Amino acid sequence: MKFIYTTDRLYLRTLDERSADKILEFYNAGRDVFSKVESEKPSSFYTLSYQATLASMEFKAFLDGTYMRYYLFDITEPDTIIGTVSFSYFMPMPYYSCIIGYKLLPGYCKKGYATEAVSFLTGCLFKEHKVHRIEAFCLPDNTPSINLLLRTGFEFESVAKSAIRLKDGFTDHRRYVLIDYDS
């Protein structure tokens, strides 16, 4: 996978610790929304040093091919992170699978940015990383996420009971899959 991609309206870029200030700004801007659907973060998560360390680790994992996070930038605002798409938990042969995660700042929702980024990056992952199956998990009441997954070709597979720990304990999540039948 490349470090930078360009779509019709987005720059999709990997970042390292030199961008920790922009990454922290992004997480602070989306904190209230993201905290409702993600696992609880340590209090130090919202510090520059934490984000610099995390960005460095994620960049190294990207180079190793074990984790990929792309930061989304609107082409008209090339210095502002508006979202992320990540791929994690890569499982080699015989599975050839991984898990996708994504988030978008509220002001950029319902404008097609997430659809554009997820569609583009899943296509790249199938071609360049030889993944066969991409899984996504979302809360049963997260209609925007469900709609995004369906728009980008994911299919509902099952309910993963008590699958992910959020603030209030373990919660059921809907599991969606996107399969490259040509691989």
Q: What is the pLDDT of residue 128?
A: 92
DSSP label at 75?
Answer: T
pTM of the full structure: 0.95
75, 10 contact by CB (below 8 A): yes
Number of domains in the chain: 1
What range defines the domain where residue 112 resides?
A: 4-179
Per-residue pLDDT of the chain (183 residues; tens, 9 = 90+): 899 999 999 999 999 999 999 999 999 999 999 988 888 899 899 999 999 999 999 999 999 999 999 999 999 999 999 999 999 999 988 999 999 999 999 999 999 999 999 999 999 999 998 899 999 999 999 999 999 999 999 999 999 999 988 888 899 999 999 999 987
Check which CATH number belongs to the domain holding 22 and give it: 3.40.630.30
CA distance 90 to 96: 7
41 vs 10: CA distance, rounded Å? 28
Distance CA 55, CA 57 (A): 5
Q: Could you give the CA distance from residue 97 to residue 87 in angstroms, rounded to a whole number?
A: 10
